[in-house]
Structure 1
Amino acid sequence: MKMAVLGDEDLVWGMMLAGIRKARITKGPDDTREALNEWLRSPEIGVILLAGYAADQVRPFLSTVRKSRRLYPLIIEIRDESRRESNQSDPVGSERMGGTHGEGSHG
């Protein structure tokens, strides 16, 4: 199974350098939804990495997808700068992810 990434230029180019070839820079909610629909239908995509801001743009759509109880592809939201700066809640969990950035670490 392959991975795909959807987000801003920094995230997409970084993941492409890491070897992910299915990638798209999102240009808004319609573009995000279109890419997700395409990748959700593809049997070769097993994991979709999705920038947090892009996930926020299509939150109702993502809720519908998650309620369908499909195992694949797995959609993983990646925390981005806008979440860090605005202190929005992180669906991944700041306690688990925060230690790498000095936030939420218990020491």
Structure 2
Amino acid sequence: MKMAVLGDEDLVWGMMLAGIRKARITKGPDDTREALNEWLRSPEIGVILLAGYAADQVRPFLSTVRKSRRLYPLIIEIRDESRRESNQSDPIGSERMGWTHGEGSHG
């Protein structure tokens, strides 16, 4: 299975330098949804790396994907610390990994 990356120029070019060839620089929510739909249908994609800001733009769509209970491809959000609010957690990633939010959690 292959990996794909969707995000800004820095993320995409960095991941391409690391060897990921399926990559797209997102130009907005419609472009993000289009790329995700394409990669979700592709049997060769096993992991999608998604920039946090792009995930935020299509959060309802990602929730629908999560509810479908698909195992592959796994969508991993990559948060940019300069855009991240303090103590913000990733509910989709945490649920996929089986972690829960609340007292005693590290999210």
TM-score range, shorter chain: 0.7 to 0.9
Answer whether contact 1:94 1:103 (CA < 8 A) is retained: no
Q: Supply the distance in 2 between the matched residues of 1:47 and 1:54 (Cα, whole angstroms).
A: 16
Answer whether contact 2:55 2:77 (CA < 8 A) is retained: yes
Q: Supply the distance in 1 between the matched residues of 2:69 and 2:61 (Cα, whole angstroms).
A: 14
Answer whether contact 1:32 1:58 (CA < 8 A) is retained: yes
Identity %: 98
The structure richer in helix per residue is 1
TM-score by length of 2: 0.80
Change (3 A) 1:57 1:43: same
- Structure 1 runs of 4+ with >2 Å offset: 81-107
Q: Deviations over 1:9-50 (max 9, x none)?
A: 000000000000000000000000000000000000000000
Answer whether contact 1:47 1:75 (CA < 8 A) is retained: yes
Aligned residues: 107
Q: Supply the distance in 2 between the matched residues of 1:10 and 1:97 (Cα, whole angstroms).
A: 27
